[in-house]
Amino acid sequence: MIPRLVLLLLAFACSSAPSRPLRGEERLYRAKCTSCHRAYEPWDRDDWPAVIDKMQADKKTHLSPEERAQILVFLQGTPGPSER
């Protein structure tokens, strides 16, 4: 019983779930953009608008203009409404 509990605790501790509350823009990004690939950090690239446009042109994602704008707020590091 104890070894199972230890394994369960280790698995939980190594989880990739964020240890902080997520802003709405990041939640949307994770919901729309991480089902096919890992979650990238905002500072991984500086060409996010072109990346999103290509994903949409290749029919790999379907975003409304509002969703695209919110995701770019997160990826480009622009402060969200709750941080202004």
Q: Is the pLDDT of residue 67 over 90?
A: yes
Question: Confidence class of residue 71 from pLDDT cuts 50, 70 and 90?
Answer: very high
**80 vs 76, higher pLDDT:** 76
Summarize pLDDT for 12-63 with one digit per residue, the tens.
555 455 567 888 999 999 999 998 888 888 877 889 999 999 999 999 889 9
pTM here is 0.66
Residue-wise DSSP of 4-70: HHHHHHHHHHT--S-SSPPPHHHHHHHHHHSSSSPPPPGGG-S-HHHHHHHHHHTTS----HHHHHH
Listed by start position, the domains of the chain span 22-83
